[in-house]
Structures are given as C-alpha cells and as structure tokens.
Structure 1
Amino acid sequence: MRKITQIITPTTHDLGAFEVRRVLPSPHRRMVGPFIFVDEFGPAILPEDSGMNVRPHPHINLATVTYLFEGAIDHRDSLGTFQTIRPGAVNLMTAGRGIVHSERSPLESRDAPKPMFGMQTWLALPDGMEEIEPAFENVAAADLPIVEDGGATARVIMGSLWGQSAPTTCHAETIYADILLAPDGVIPIDSEADERAVMLVDGDAALDGVPLEKYLLYVIAPGAKVSLSSRSGGRAMLLGGEAFSSERHVWWNFVSSRKDRIEQAKVDWAEGRFPKVPGDADEYIPLPEGQPKTITFL
C-alpha cells in the first residue's frame, strides 16, 4: 500500500437516466497533475423518450476533455464548433478567457435506446495561460497511439506514455490513457509524471497486487514503479501530469487562480456578456444561487 498514497471515493450524483461519479475535486484532494475535475458516468442505456440535453453553459480558465467508451454526444460551442463525440476519440475544449457550450444526444438517436459510458475531466490551465484564446479540437480514435504490452492495450489520449505521444494539445504536462487488460494481462505504469492516479471503470484490476475497486481513484506515490494487472480482464484510466504550485479555485463551471476572476465571470454570465452558441442559442443554464455543487454535465 505504500505505493498507493491516497484512495479517493467518488461522490455519486443520480441524474435519473444515469449516474455521475465525481472523484475530483474532493475534500481530501483538489488536483492530480492538471486534472481538477474528474467525472465517470454510466454505463447506462438512456431510454427511448429521453437523452442528454445539457443546455449552453460557460467555462473560464480551464480545458475540458470528453472521452467516451460507449454512446455519442453532439457538442456545440460559441466558436461555432459542431462535433459529434464518439468512442475512442478525444474532445479537447479550451475555455481560456471564456467559452460557452452545450451537449445533447444526436437527433437521429433521440427515439432509440442510447448507451452512455465515459469520462469527463477538466484540466486547470497553468499560470500565464488561463486567459488564452478559446479553442476546440477533436482527435479521432485512429490518430491516437495504441500501445500493446503483456496482454494489455492502451490508447494514449494525452501526453507521452510507453514511448508513444498523442497529438492532443497539452497546455501543461499531462498524461491520460485508456487501458484495456486481457485476462492475466499486465502493463507497467510510467513513473515520470509528478502526479499519477488510476481508476478502474470495468472488470477487475490490481496495482502491484492491491485489488482496485471500481470508480475509486488510486493516487500513486511519486516515482513509484508499479504494474497494473487483471485476472479476468478489465479497463482502467491512467491520469496525471505536472504538479501545480499555485492554488486553483472552483465555483460551478468556473476555475481560476483568482477569486475575483470567478466573481467577474458570474456577473458576465448573469448579464449575458458571454457569446452565444450558434445553432443552440435559445436556451441556457442560469447562474446558480448560493454555492453550487458543480454538477453541470458536461
């Protein structure tokens, strides 16, 4: 257990058709590398008469990363982007000085059962880059490197791992990977990042023989050499990167190193100063009253 320094239990939010499990931020830890917000959602089948309908909402001073195992989500943002998110691809939306986006189930699937299973994470932007220009990129599954080793197949989503580098933009040093373990599969976990953590999302797995419980976040000791293994097969996410030396504050969908910047973003959203989302400008999520629980999804 000395190689595992912390185990974080998620807070589960029941959204009706599916559950969202949040491990970061938690009362016990704010960040792992640049990851300041980590949600796992599903697996679930959304019924025929419902779908994901997340109205336009704002972000500042962060980048969102959406990664699906199953299902599809239509993303629109105030840059004019329209992108259907599909399994194995990575959607990186850099909010910077401010962006607005929405997520909805594709129209063609509204009247059919819809699988939903994936990860939603936020990355804090480093000092000096919080107010950069908003941007969006989608990297297709075919363009992300695949590593195979000892009965394991890993897709590198961000950063460099196992000698392979993803083309996804990294504003800070970041590692992020989707690891599929075959029965009796084993893969070493790279030890170069300042901070690393693993979450089991399906099947079974163990870190150096320590069994992992699904949806908990296991923080690995800096520099520790560990291996991820499975008896009957499993799926796990590896995430982390450089440790931030300056504090970040989170309120609703806003992240910043400055509390006054978050206060300004509140006023800007309440007074309609953020840009509209082309093709989805008729609705929006109002500014919450009091201290929200940061449950806007995604």
Structure 2
Amino acid sequence: MSKIGLIIEERSRDIGDFLVGRLIPFRKKRMIGPFVFIDHMAPVQLGPQKYMDVDQHPHIGLSTLTYLFEGEIMHEDSLGTKQLIKPGSVNWMTAGKGVSHTERTPQYLRNGNTFMAQGYQIWVALPKHLEDMDPQFHHIEADDLPKWTDGDAQFTLVAGEGYGKKSPVPTYSPLFMVEVKTSNSFRLNVNGDLKGEIGICIDKGSIDACGEVIEKGNILVSKVEDTCDITVHSGSHLLLFGGEPFPEERHIYWNFVSTSKETITKAKEDWKNKNFPMMANDGTYIPLPKEVFKNT
C-alpha cells in the first residue's frame, strides 16, 4: 500500500485585519509542483468597520491565482487592470519581471451591510526562462471553467490540465488545480488523471487515506503515482493542486520569487527606491518589511 508522503497542517498568520491559513511554503516542503505559496482566507465577516484593503505591493517571478468561495474583491494593477473577482471565477496575474497591485473590497459593498468572504490566494512559480517575461493579466469567468460530475462528486478544473480536460487559464508549465465537492462518500482517483506532485487540500470535511482519517485544514502531499486509495467523506470540499516540479530551486523573499538571489536583491532595492512598475492612480505603498518569510 502506498504511504502518505507528508501531511501539512494549516498554520494561522495575521495580515492586517485578516486571519489566513498558510499551507505552503512549509519547512519540509517548499513547493508542490510549481506551486510555491498557498494562503487560505478563512471565512470572515466583513462590514462597516472591517473591509479588505491591501495597499499597493509588488511581485516578480510568479503568477498569482485568486479563487473565491464567498465575497468579492476588486483587483487593480500597474498594467491598468481593474477587475472585480466573484466566487468561482479566476484572477490570474503573471508578474514576470515586475508588477504592482492592490486588492480591496469593492466600493458598492461598503454600504453598511455585512457579508462573508473566503477563498484561496495562490502563487505559481514561473519556469526559469520566463521569470523575466512581461507582466500579463487574465480573468476567467466561472462559467468558462470545465465542470463535470462523477458519481457523487462535482469537479471544476480551475487551472492547468487533468482528467482529460484543459482550463482556459493561460499557465506556463505542466500543472493542475481541481476543485472537488462531494454530496455522498466518494472514492477519489488521481493516478492516470493527474501528473507530477500532488497536494490534496481539505477545505471542508475529511477523507480516508492510507488507513488514516485526515480532517479539514490539512494538505496531503505525495507524487501522483504514489497516492494511495482515497475516500472523500460526504459534504467534503477539496482542492487538488500540483504538477511537474522544476529542476531549479526557487528563492523567496516577501512577494519576490526567483531562481536568482541577485534578482531578488535587485527587486528589494527597486521597491525600496520606488523604481518599480507602479499604479498610475493609486499612491499607496507597502514598504519592504524588515521581517518576512524568506529562504534566500
């Protein structure tokens, strides 16, 4: 019988008014396929005294993927993009050599009422030869994502390729991100339908894997071909993500990802000196923090 390679437990961290769960990077597993960073924005009630207001900040060397289950976020960036993201749609921003952006509760929701927000914010590292590409932005509506039913499970292919289908999100390396929801107990198969490394993120409910019961708030990590039989319990919600790993190590400092330490050092100096692509109509600025996650 195959064994679970690693179980990663969600770890809470504070970002201003929001409590999010950091899943990767983890000290024993920095990346899963090309996925380098996953934050779970747990269900939070927003309202008159509490909104999402993430000021202008930079990225290099990666694509960001925002996927919401509840709530709405207005994305604006240094490319001139202004895009509302709603539950089930995908915001895919490729930073390449450099981009700045903000994420805020849209103005029309600041009306005195309360509402819930939750979802995932994900970073996908770029292949080495594309790390310095020009930045791009793409928005994919929920209805344009491949969806299908298999027995008592509903599937959505959020990004990449899997189960014989391809998402319209323009990815740059072999990867997959699949959402799975179950109405009754369901036996999940991944071998032959997905390729590379896999992370099985349990957002809601639980699963049986390799003789163990794994509850929500954990990620199981293995190679697809080594994944054991998995039974997903009724009323569960999973995200499957991963793909082919890169041959090179990735260095991470704050919002910067690169195969080159020198590139990250330059990005840090450029941001401190405001010599970075900046938004035309937003004067906010998050300073380079003194203490951040880093593996440089």
TM-score where L is the length of structure 2: 0.93
Cα drift, residue 51 of structure 1: 0.3
Query: In structure 1, what is the equivalent of residue 124 of structure 2?
Result: 123
* Contact 1:36–1:123, Cα closer than 8 Å, also in 2: yes
In the alignment, the residues of structure 1 paired with residue 267 and residue 69 of structure 2 have an alpha-carbon distance, to the nearest angstrom, of: 33
In the alignment, the residues of structure 2 paired with residue 196 and residue 253 of structure 1 have an alpha-carbon distance, to the nearest angstrom, of: 23
Query: In structure 1, what is the equivalent of residue 238 of structure 2?
Result: 236
* Contact 1:10–1:215, Cα closer than 8 Å, also in 2: yes
Cα drift, residue 208 of structure 1: 5.5
Query: In structure 1, what is the equivalent of residue 71 of structure 2?
Result: 71
Query: In structure 2, what is the equivalent of residue 176 of structure 1?
Result: 177
Q: How many residues align?
A: 292
Query: In structure 2, what is the equivalent of residue 45 of structure 1?
Result: 45
After TM superposition, the structure 1 = structure 2 runs for residues 128-207 of structure 1, keeping only pairs within 5 Å, are: 128-191=129-192, 192-207=194-209
Cα drift, residue 292 of structure 1: 1.3
Deviation by residue 1:177-231 (Cα, 9 ceiling, x = unmatched): 1111112233322444110110110123333653222121101234135454333
TM-score where L is the length of structure 1: 0.93
* Contact 1:95–1:134, Cα closer than 8 Å, also in 2: yes
In the alignment, the residues of structure 2 paired with residue 267 and residue 149 of structure 1 have an alpha-carbon distance, to the nearest angstrom, of: 51
Identical-residue share of aligned pairs (%): 38
List alignment gaps of at least 5 residues for structure 1: none
In the alignment, the residues of structure 2 paired with residue 231 and residue 152 of structure 1 have an alpha-carbon distance, to the nearest angstrom, of: 10
In the alignment, the residues of structure 2 paired with residue 82 and residue 265 of structure 1 have an alpha-carbon distance, to the nearest angstrom, of: 24
* Contact 1:75–1:101, Cα closer than 8 Å, also in 2: yes
Query: In structure 2, what is the equivalent of residue 112 of structure 1?
Result: 113
**Is the alpha carbon distance of 1:80 and 1:199 closer, same or farther for their aligned partners in structure 2, counting shifts above 3 Å?**
same
Higher mean C-alpha displacement, 136-145 vs 227-236: 227-236
Pick the aligned partner of 1:247 from 235, 246, 249: 249
Query: In structure 1, what is the equivalent of residue 81 of structure 2?
Result: 81
* Contact 1:25–1:38, Cα closer than 8 Å, also in 2: yes
Query: In structure 2, what is the equivalent of residue 272 of structure 1?
Result: 274
Query: In structure 2, what is the equivalent of residue 292 of structure 1?
Result: 292
In the alignment, the residues of structure 1 paired with residue 230 and residue 148 of structure 2 have an alpha-carbon distance, to the nearest angstrom, of: 14
* Contact 1:181–1:229, Cα closer than 8 Å, also in 2: no
Equivalent AA in structure 2 for residue 185 of structure 1: F
Equivalent AA in structure 1 for residue 207 of structure 2: A
List alignment gaps of at least 5 residues for structure 2: none
Equivalent AA in structure 2 for residue 45 of structure 1: Q
SS at match of 1:117: strand
Deviation by residue 1:38-89 (Cα, 9 ceiling, x = unmatched): 1111112123221000000000011101101111100000000001111111
* Contact 1:189–1:227, Cα closer than 8 Å, also in 2: no
